[in-house]
Amino acid sequence: MKTKQEIIHLDFEKPLIALSKQISELEEKALKNGNSKIIIDLKNQYEKVKEQIYKNLSPIERIKIARHPQRPYPLDYIQSISPAWYELHGDRTGKDDAAIVGGLIEIDGQTIMAIGTQKGRNIKENQRRNFGMPSPEGYRKALRLFYHAEKFNFPIVTFIDTPGAYPGLEAEEHNQSHAIAMNLRELAGLTVPIIAIVTGEGGSGGALALGVANRVLMLENSIYSVISAEGCAAILWRTKDKASEAASALKITAQDLYKLGVIDEIIPEVEGGAHYNHNQTCENILNAIKSHLRELKELSPEELKTDRQEKFRRLGIFNRV
Amino acid sequence: MGLKDFFKTRQLKKAAKLQSQLSTNGNGHDLKVEPSICDDQLCVLWTKCQGCNELLYTSELKKNHSVCKHCGHHHRLTAQERIDLLTDYGSFLEIDDNILPSDPLNFKDLKPYKDRLKEAEKTSNSKEAIITGIGSINNQPVAIGAMEFQYIGGSMGSVVGEKIVSLAERAIEKRIPLILVSSSGGARMHEGILSLMQMAKTAGILKKLHEEKLLYVSLLTEPTFGGVTASFAMLGDILIAEPRARIGFAGRRVIEETIRQKIPKDFQTAEYLLENGQIDLVIPRQNLKPLVSDLIRLHSQNTKLKTGISPFSKIPLFAGV
């Protein structure tokens, strides 16, 4: 989003909005009266409230930030971190799914295959991109691009921001399960460095199909879950109103996943979320990609493959008696 | 006299007996009439077919591998029954039965996950949602696993993932075919992201198995959905399903809610999948063992030519199990 837009505020940010309104009103008056102490107090209070809100974001609040309509989407990151961007289209068997984008970028003279799920900014674009919910053809396009990267020895960077794989009639008929399963299996066998970054919503299998990587990173306010909080609440609590409880129970935030050892790094966002400052978030992402690529370049092709397979082989917590 | 008539006569006789008891008692009030007890006892003897509502003599039904002799409806088998059906009598040796579920997220919805686990163990008479082991099918050694739907809907959590990976590793080590029978609602929500990761974990080991050129036969039974279909279940070299089994990625209700229209009645049935090119065969239960056995035999020929010996002839079957 190049043009400046008014930020859409989330409901839990309301106290802040009220305070800042009060401050600006008082500031206007203070210009006339010269009484600035009350303004300083208010500003201090504003900072305190701000810290309280943003430092203690609950899982359901993180979901809201992750789904924020002004949050940068994978194409925003891709286009900002690389001067070159050649999008490649189609699964070669009949469709080009716009919910998944992929193509060639360049970072520090290194050609990289960038692949991401892509939501739309407006109704029309969302119709085309299906709200970022890929069809089997999208995953097959991604698979074709994985093979392309493997052939030419390009590292792969994936950007994940999807509510999940599309649960539609045609998607089932075209074998959504198989498309996802194949990606999971084939990603495990590649010999190039793979970095996956969850930038917004990491919606279950639909996200994981781009997420079998040597390094899995998450933006500070992104989420990654086996099922949506609403879906889980509907099944286990028998009402969607309990989404907040479900969100907490499922452990879906970057911070929780880091503790569980499922992800390797949390990429910081600016206070309040990436939508407050696209450029800063893009820069943080670029730095993270660079540093992980540098480390992964030390590994041989065979080591890269083993590293990835062993990383996922270890995941799971159970008792052995 | 058909079974149905026989049952009717029994019921009539019982009713007459009850009636005589009631009349000898004078008033029926202080006599505890508990027909449910009789019904429960009868349930052990009789089973109502879920396909045609016909009453079937349970022991006869079991002899027929739980297939209704009137309508051919395939009732669900327990994991153990499935193993018994496919493997040679006495050949199956369970492995990894010491891997038990834990509660990694301390998950609690309306009930704590720990309680659900205990309940599941009681109702299913199984320690987890899968049984794995080494056995033989018509004297051909196999690594075989069968899912237990009665255990939390056959859902895949850390234990299921670990047991499948461990089983596949044995198959690779012993160079024997892998047979997995799935019956599952998908990933287990109560273990959150860890359940999701089992998809990548199982698909990862199947990549190794694939590279080792070993046969993997995946048998899909009623019902197989979600994260199980979208990972190991769809990755078989040969995909077999039982008649009328429902197999898919998203559940019927979710799809109907998404596309806001009714979907065809036979949607996501084995026959529908066969027609849509998603699976290889739909085979009635009584033909399963001969089929799987023959598939193994046919696939062992190439290896035989290459190595000069049958891959099955020199393997100490239970060594190191």
Contact assignment for A167 to B254 by CB distance below 8 Å:
yes
Of B101, B191, B249, the CB nearest to A176: B249
Q: A249 and B105: CB-CB below 8 Å?
A: yes
Q: What percent of chain A has pLDDT over 70?
A: 97
Mean pLDDT of all residues in chain A?
92
For the CA atoms of chain A, what is the radius of gyration? Answer: 21
Fold of A62-313: 2-enoyl-CoA Hydratase; Chain A, domain 1 (3.90.226)
Give the whole-angstrom CA distance, residue B318 versus residue B321. Answer: 5
C-alpha distances in Å from residue A44, one per residue of A38, A39, B136:
10, 9, 75
Chain B, 272-311: which have a CB under 8 Å from a chain A CB?
276-278
Between residues B227 and A36, which one has the greater pLDDT? B227
pLDDT at A11 over 70: yes
The answer to whether B248 faces chain A, any CB pair under 8 Å, is yes
Residues 214-243 of B with CB under 8 A from A: 226-227, 229-235
Q: Is B108 touching A (CB cutoff 8 A)? A: yes
Q: In which band, very low, low, confident or very high, does the pLDDT at B13 lie, cut at 50, 70 and 90?
A: low
Q: What is the pLDDT of residue A1?
A: 45
pLDDT single digits (tens) B247-257:
999 998 889 88
Which chain A residue's Cα is nearest to B192? A250
Q: Work out the number of other CB atoms within 10 angstroms of the CB of residue A308.
A: 25
A140 closest CA partner among A173, A172, A94, A104: A94
Beta-carbon separation of B198 and A172 below 8 A: no
Tokens of B25: 């008692």
pLDDT one-digit tens code per residue, A64-100? 999 999 999 999 999 999 999 999 999 999 899 999 9
- Residue B33, pLDDT > 60, answer no
Q: Which residue has the tokens 């992402």?
A: A285
Q: State mean pLDDT over A106-126.
A: 95
* Partners of residue A189 in chain B, C-beta under 8 Å: 207, 210-211
Tell me which of B103, B249, B252 to substitute to probe the interface with A (most A C-beta atoms closer than 10 Å).
B249
Say if residue B274 is exposed, middle or buried (CB neighbours under 10 Å; 0-12, 13-18, 19+).
middle
pLDDT band at A298 (very low <50, low <70, confident <90, very high): very high
Residue A50 has a pLDDT of 86
Strands B178-184 and B140-147: parallel
pLDDT score for B11: 63
Structure tokens at A78: 């891709």
Per-residue confidence (pLDDT) for residue A221, from 0 to 100:
95
Sign of CA dihedral A246, A176, A262, B207: positive
Write down the pLDDT at residue B42.
Answer: 55
* pLDDT at residue B16 greater than cutoff 60: no
pLDDT of residue A52: 85
pLDDT reported for residue A44: 84
Taking the model in full, what pTM does it have? 0.88
Residue B222 has pLDDT above 60, yes or no: yes
Mutate to test the interface with B, among A143, A184, A218, A255 (most CBs of B within 10 A): A184
Taking CB atoms and an 8 Å limit, are B189 and A232 in contact across chains? Answer: yes
pLDDT value at residue A38: 76
Per-position DSSP letters for A211-247, written without gaps between them = T--SEEEEETT-EEESS-HHHHIIIIISSGGGHHHHH
Task: Output the average pLDDT for chain B.
Answer: 85
**Cα–Cα distance measured from residue A178 to residue A45, given in angstroms and rounded to the nearest whole number:** 54
Q: How far from A179 is each of A47, A134, A186, B231, B290, CA to CA, in Å?
A: 48, 10, 11, 9, 30
Q: Which residues of A touch B230 (CB under 8 A)?
A: 165, 176-178, 180-181, 184, 205
User: pLDDT band at B303, cuts 50/70/90?
Assistant: low
Q: Is the confidence at residue B309, as pLDDT, over 90?
A: no
Q: Tokens in use for A246?
A: 């479900």
Percent of chain A surpassing pLDDT 90: 80
Specify the pLDDT at position A274: 93
Read off the pLDDT of each residue in B164-172 and give the average, rounded to a whole number: 96
Domain ranges (residues) in chain B: 3-63, 79-307
Neighbours of A2 (CB within 10 A): 6
CATH of B79-307, one of 3.20.19.10, 3.90.226.10, 3.40.80.10, 3.20.20.70: 3.90.226.10
Residue A151: predicted pLDDT: 97
Residue of chain A with shortest Cα separation from B276: A173
pLDDT at A27: 76
B208 neighbourhood in chain A, CB within 8 Å: 309
Reply yes or no on whether the pLDDT at B27 is more than 80. no
User: Which stretch of DSSP H or E encloses residue A266?
Assistant: strand A265-267
**Residue A18, pLDDT score:** 85
> By the CB < 8 Å criterion, does B266 face chain A?
no
Per-residue pLDDT at A5 exceeds 80: no
- Helix and strand counts by DSSP (H, E) for chain A: 14, 9
The DSSP secondary structure of B88-123, one letter per residue, reads PTTT-EEE-TTEEE--TT--BSSSBHHHHHHHHHHH
Q: Which residue of A166, A248, A317, A321 is the best one to mutate when testing the B interface, meaning the one whose CB has the most B CBs within 10 A? A: A317
Q: How far off is chain B from A284, nearest CA to CA, in Å?
A: 25
Q: Is the pLDDT of residue B20 over 70?
A: no
DSSP for B125-159, written as a single string: -SSSSEEEEEEEETTEEEEEEEE-TTTGGG-B-HH
A31, pLDDT greater than 60: yes
**Phi-psi category of residue A58: left, alpha or beta, with phi > 0 → left and psi -120 to 50 → alpha:** beta
- For residue A249, pLDDT beyond 90: yes
pLDDT of residue B7: 62
Residue A252 has pLDDT above 60, yes or no: yes
**Shortest alpha-carbon distance between residue A302 and chain B (Å):** 13
Contacts of A168 in chain B (CB under 8 A): 255, 258-259
> CA distances (Å), A256 to each of A223, B109, B121, B172, B249, in order?
10, 18, 29, 35, 27
Q: Quick one: pLDDT at residue A117?
A: 97
What pLDDT does residue B24 have?
A: 37
B37-70 pLDDT, tens digit per residue, is 344 455 678 889 988 998 999 989 999 999 999 9
Q: Which residues of B touch A245 (CB under 8 A)?
A: 109
Q: Is A214 exposed, middle or buried (0-12, 13-18, 19+ CB in 10 A)?
A: buried
The pair phi, psi for residue A224, each rounded to 5°, is -150, 120
pLDDT digit string, tens, across residues B261-302: 888 889 999 999 999 999 999 999 999 999 999 999 999 875
Q: How far is A45 from chain B (nearest CA, A)?
A: 36
Strands B216-224 and B178-184 come out as parallel
Which residues of chain B from 122 to 161 reach within 8 Å of chain A, CB to CB? 157-159, 161
Lowest mean pLDDT segment, chosen from A196-200, A233-237, A268-272, B307-311 = B307-311
Exposed, middle or buried: residue A238 (CB in 10 Å: 0-12, 13-18, 19+)?
A: exposed
Cross-strand pairs, A102 = A115
pLDDT at B318 over 60: no
Is B255 in Cβ contact with A169 (below 8 Å)? yes
How far A261 CA sits from the closest chain B CA (Å)?
10
